[in-house]
Amino acid sequence: MDDKSMVMAEAVDTAALLPGRHPTLTGCPWHDVNEMLQSVGLRPTRQRMALGWLLFGKGDRHLTAEMLYEEATHAKVPVSLATVYNTLNQLTDAGLLRQVSVDGTKTYFDTNVSTHHHFYLENSHELVDIHEPNLMLQKMPDVPEGYEISRVDMVVRLRKKR
């Protein structure tokens, strides 16, 4: 059994010890990640499966490639940073992740692909969903001929009061 399977098995075994309870996983079950990848035409390789389990197993999240690489390292998932970047870009292209750029220097990957906007907490470098369904731009700009708006990302930058 490899390290990824052991982590999954440990999560299931712990919950299975409690009588009358269904197993509670600490992440997304392997079969869900497998189905998710296959539904968008991506082959469920071991590395994609492991990274998908880390990404989608903890609810809606905002991660940089470096953050996911660090999680993978702690979980003993043998991947390079380049593989993490490639996988995140493939998942984004497939519509399973949403890319959010902050300052053009930091890119976050959002597991919540629904239409929503973000607060960026400058002090902690954290991206947080804005839970305001009525937030909207009052007037959209004219789009150059031959182009269409694919989506609008609003990032509201916040810092602690001085």
CATH number at residue 67: 1.10.10.10
For the segment 26-41, the average pLDDT, to the nearest whole number, is 76
Give the CA radius of gyration of the chain.
18
Residue 134: the pLDDT is: 74
Q: What are phi and psi of 66, to 5 degrees?
A: -65, -40
Residue 158: the pLDDT is: 92
Residue 61: the pLDDT is: 93
- Work out the angle at residue 96's Cα, subtended by the Cα atoms of residues 156 and 58, and round it to the nearest 5 degrees: 75
Residue 106: the pLDDT is: 87
Res 8 pLDDT > 60 = no
Res 30 pLDDT > 60 = yes
Mean of the per-residue pLDDT values for the chain?
81
| Strand 106-110, strand 98-102: pairing | antiparallel
List CB contacts of 114: < 8 A, sequence separation 6 or more: none
Residue 1: the pLDDT is: 41
Question: Does residue 36 contact residue 44 with C-beta atoms inside 8 Å?
Answer: no
Domain with 62, as residue range(s), is 3-158
CA distances in angstroms from 115 to 4, 68, 79, 85, 151, listed in the order given: 32, 23, 31, 23, 8
Number of structural domains (the chain) is: 1
State pLDDT tens for residues 86-144: 999 999 999 999 999 987 778 999 999 988 889 999 999 999 999 887 777 788 889 99
Confidence of residue 20 (pLDDT cuts 50, 70, 90): very low
Strand partners, 19: none
Q: Would you give the distance in Å from CA 123 to the centre of its chain?
A: 21
